[in-house]
Amino acid sequence: MRAQVLTNAGLGKLQALDVACAVPGPHQLRVRVLACGVCRTDLHVVDGELPRVTVPRIPGHEVVGVVDMLGPEVTAFAIGERIGVPWLGWTCGTCHSCQSGRENLCASARFTGYDHDGGYAEYAVADARFCVAIPDRYGDAEAAPLLCAGLIGYRAYRMAGPGAHIGIYGFGAAAHIVAQIALADGRQVSAFVAPGDEPARQFAQSTGTTWAGFSTDAPPYPLDAALIFAPVGALVPEALSRIVPGGTVVCAGIHMSDIPRFAYSLLWGERTVRSVANLTRQDATDFFAMAARVPIRISSHTYALADANAALSDLRSGRLCGAAVLVP
């Protein structure tokens, strides 16, 4: 099969190679990839910003594909079925985190496109127990970003609590999905983009947000909670300065630059700063049940598999509004 492969961690570029198609193990299946989203976590992997990346590695963890081969123990899916392969690819199932409903924190967890090969390829193998069915209402390129931008964004959104006014910092693939969910729930949404990034501000407005401005601007109302999707540590004290006492700032990225020192007064008043780490299978069940009911409009930009480096470059430079998706 043709694949885009990371051969040198931290180099920032992938190589187009012909590699052997893997055969699924007992609990695994193989999909013919129809689309694979390009996530900022992929960028962190390729740019060497995450630890323990082993090479060669095929990135990609927002995989939509058709099952073409099943391992002998797989009963949940059938040949020809369209499914999704998310970031969480395997957990031990026996540790305290797994047993307490927090498999996203399993110390032995393995992740798609990071610990094992992902979807920047014509075929991908995954543990069927961690794959998900995709609602029919979404096309392949629409569905791909739901598998991480949607899932991680949804977990972050639920951690924000029930407040009426939500702020979102960094308006890309995850944010434009979460904003629509929050608006459908009857909440007000303030969107914050990088100072001077007028296209991003207009993109945020196009999703129906209550207000859209720059990250240094004051929103029209104090925020009950803030979600930070941009990997910029300086946004943490900025967001703290905008939330009400008892409010929450949720850091939703797997990687973020260092948070600068800030005055205790920003945290005082029982404000909370917390992170989101990965996702659980229950998150996927809940999210896709919701996505089947609530029509989420996905802004996606498709690239040929051979143009994976161009997609990564566009994401790195901030040229994208919405999600990038590779289509083999």
Average pLDDT over residues 228-243: 97
pLDDT above 90 (res 277) = yes
pLDDT above 90 (res 10) = no
State the maximum Cα–Cα separation within the chain, in Å, rounded to a whole number. Answer: 58
Q: How confident is the model at residue 40 (pLDDT cuts 50, 70, 90)?
A: very high
CA dihedral sign, ordered 139, 314, 130, 251: negative
Look at residue 265 and give its three-state secondary structure. Answer: helix
Task: Show me where the domains of the chain are located.
Answer: 2-148+278-327, 151-275
Q: What is the CATH number of domain 2-148+278-327?
A: 3.90.180.10
pLDDT above 90 (res 52) = no
Q: How confident is the model at residue 319 (pLDDT cuts 50, 70, 90)?
A: confident
To the nearest 10 degrees (0 to 180), the angle between helices 173-184 and 149-159 is 50
The pTM score is 0.94
Domain 151-275: what homologous superfamily? NAD(P)-binding Rossmann-like Domain (3.40.50.720)
pLDDT above 90 (res 191) = yes
Look at residue 145 and give its three-state secondary structure. Answer: helix
